[in-house]
Amino acid sequence: MKNFSKKEMLQIVEENLSRHYGIDKSLLSQKGLFFVEQGKKQNGSRLQIVMFYDCIVIIAGKTLLKKIRPIFESKSREEIFECPLVYGLTLRYLPSGVKCKKLFVKGFSFHVCDKQGLRGKDISSFPNAVCVDEKGDIKSEVFVCACQGDKVVGIAGAVKREHFEGMMEIGVDVLPEYRQKGLAVALLQRLTDLLLKNKTIPFYSVASTNLGSQVVASKGGYLPVWCDSFASIFDGSTSYDSLIYGMKNLF
């Protein structure tokens, strides 16, 4: 297994966040609130916030950034994420580096496979573990399946994300009737070990409201490292636009 030090993992994360969001890497090691203008190729009506340790970066197009800057300046971290213009928060976890005892679940077997190994199987119940594109082709590349006999009851899958080099995102799904047995933790642990052996840093993403998945991350040996808001799009295309525009007198 490749033993990445905490420093090595954070350096790789910083490089990927810098590339993905168009953020100067030096910002991420600083403390405070920063405003970054989106590139011209990106949607100028898009607002997103990224927090990496003590650094908070607000990213938006030039015109939108000028309008929202007075709203966020001089605000605390909690006030920034409580703003009505911001919705949804994804927590991003990395392996803690502390070796956890591998969980074994009696009555179930675990098998590694690639996307070819899932051919012919019903994957509709595993949307977090098995990512597909618009055509329905599988994007995830490697999987660990939990089986009871010949039945697949849980899957952990890893997918490459744009701009994230040397890292893959893990997703886990377990059929509802097989939950609360430790399968999700066992799947996460096994796929994590597999990726690290192949010199790839896994990360695990959890919605801030998904408490169960946060417990899985913790039991699986992961710690939260950064977070980002869902992208707010102010171009008339979202279901919340009428609400937001109706609040304009509040700002």
* Residue 1 placed within a domain: no
Say which CATH number the domain at 152 has.
3.40.630.30
- Dihedral (CA of 122, 125, 131, 136) sign: positive
- Picking from 185, 206, 5, 170, the residue whose alpha carbon sits closest to that of residue 92 is 206
* Residue 211 placed within a domain: no
If asked whether residues 155 and 124 sit together in one domain, one would say yes
What's the pLDDT score for residue 247?
53
If asked whether residues 180 and 138 sit together in one domain, one would say yes
What's the pLDDT score for residue 238?
58
* Residue 148 placed within a domain: yes
If asked whether residues 134 and 75 sit together in one domain, one would say no
- Using alpha carbons, list the distances in angstroms from residue 216 to 8, 39, 97, 111, 179: 24, 36, 16, 20, 11
* Residue 217 placed within a domain: no
If asked whether residues 185 and 162 sit together in one domain, one would say yes
If asked whether residues 19 and 51 sit together in one domain, one would say yes
pLDDT along the chain (251 residues), means of 10: 82 95 93 88 76 95 90 94 88 89 91 92 94 92 96 97 96 97 97 96 96 96 95 66 55 44
DSSP 196: H
How many structural domains compose the chain?
2
> Rounded to two decimals, what is the model's pTM?
0.89
If asked whether residues 120 and 45 sit together in one domain, one would say no
If asked whether residues 102 and 200 sit together in one domain, one would say yes
If asked whether residues 119 and 75 sit together in one domain, one would say no
What's the pLDDT score for residue 98?
77
* Residue 105 placed within a domain: yes
* Residue 215 placed within a domain: no
* Residue 132 placed within a domain: yes
What's the pLDDT score for residue 241?
60
Within 29-83, residue ranges assigned H as helices are: 62-72, 77-82
If asked whether residues 74 and 105 sit together in one domain, one would say no
If asked whether residues 127 and 71 sit together in one domain, one would say no
- Picking from 103, 69, 122, the residue whose alpha carbon sits closest to that of residue 216 is 103
* Residue 13 placed within a domain: yes
Using an 8 Å Cβ cutoff, are 95 and 221 in contact? yes
If asked whether residues 105 and 194 sit together in one domain, one would say yes
What's the pLDDT score for residue 250?
44
CA–CA separation, 68 and 50 (whole Å): 15
What's the pLDDT score for residue 97?
84
Q: What contacts 76, CB < 8 A, 6 or more positions away? A: none
What's the pLDDT score for residue 251?
44
What's the pLDDT score for residue 236?
61
What would the two tokens of residue 118 be? 């899932």
If asked whether residues 190 and 131 sit together in one domain, one would say yes
DSSP 138: B
Range of the domain at 17: 6-94+228-250
